[in-house]
Copies of this chain bind each other. A is one copy, B any other.
Amino acid sequence: MVKNKYTSIYSKLVLLIEEGKYEPGDTLPSEHELCAQFDTSRETIRKSLNLLAQNGYIQKVRGKGSVVLDHSKFEFPVSGLTSFKELANQLGKDFQTHVHELVVQQADSPVRERLNCKKTDNLWKITRTRVIAGEGIILDKDYIRQDIVPGLTKSICENSIYDYIENQLQLEISFAKKEIIVETVTEEDQQLLDLQGHQQVVVIRSYVYLSDATLFQFTESRHRPDKFQFVDFARRTKV
């Protein structure tokens, strides 16, 4: 994949940190040295380092340098915008996706309000369960605008919708707003998940946007509580 200079330098530095070339507590080479190593300007290096800082790999300290953080402590990055398949691949777990429903329907009122679309707009409704080690753990209910994402098939839904959107349709998924709450189980949860007596599920509602700021997807992801984990890296923003 073709990238610009500073993201490719970022990726190389991430690799070096994950390989252990730079260990937690170490300081990276100074910006000046990195300029020489990568044969580029200081501003470009600084953009790469800011990416590292944003994603929790380093902490920059004025006068000292860029201190490497213990990024591995949280090996389960559910934060950010990562598809289930990308996640499962990273973890190397035994998993399957079952597609229960894949239909086109007109937006009914509760979803229409969430997706901010017209009554006549056609929406994909996709219901899937994620099966890990033989147990139905996650129930995903997706609503996707068909005019933006046409041509969905069962096979695509079993693999990765994100992969299809980004690589086949060449659309750019950009950001999402997420909300995490706990709800009591519904009849659908009980039918499609192996709840093992749990009376509540953790629900993640996501509103997903393209890079031109159009909202195209609403997802409700319902997790069995004992298998749920969310990890976040947060920087303090002063008022």
Contact = CB atoms under 8 A, between A and B. Distances in A.
A79 interface: yes
A211 interface: yes
Given A180-B229, A182-B226, A200-B225, 19 more contacts: A7-B238, A59-B174, A59-B175, A59-B211, A61-B212, A64-B212, A74-B177, A80-B236, A80-B237, A81-B237, A176-B233, A176-B234, A178-B232, A178-B233, A178-B234, A179-B230, A180-B228, A180-B230, A180-B232
A195 interface: no
A232 B232 contact: yes
Interface string A199-224: 11010000101011100000000000
Interface of A: 1, 3, 7, 11, 54-56, 59, 61, 64, 67, 69, 73-74, 79-81, 173-182, 199-200, 202, 207, 209, 211-213, 225-226, 228-239
9 contacts: A1-B238, A7-B238, A67-B212, A69-B213, A73-B177, A80-B235, A81-B236, A178-B232, A180-B230
B59 A232 contact: no
Nearest 8 A/B pairs, CB to CB: A182-B225, A81-B236, A59-B213, A180-B230, A178-B232, A67-B213, A175-B235, A80-B234
Contacts of A175: 56, 59, 233-236
Interface centre among A55, A74, A79, A234 (most CB of B within 10 A): A234
A167 to B, nearest CB: 12
A156 B226 CA distance: 36
A209 B73 contact: no
B179 A74 contact: yes
Nearest to A78: B180
Contacts of A79: 232, 234
Given A200-B225, A212-B61, A56 B236 contact: no
Given A59-B209, A61-B213, A67-B213, A179 B229 contact: yes
Contact of A232 (B73, B177, B229): B177
Nearest to A208: B236
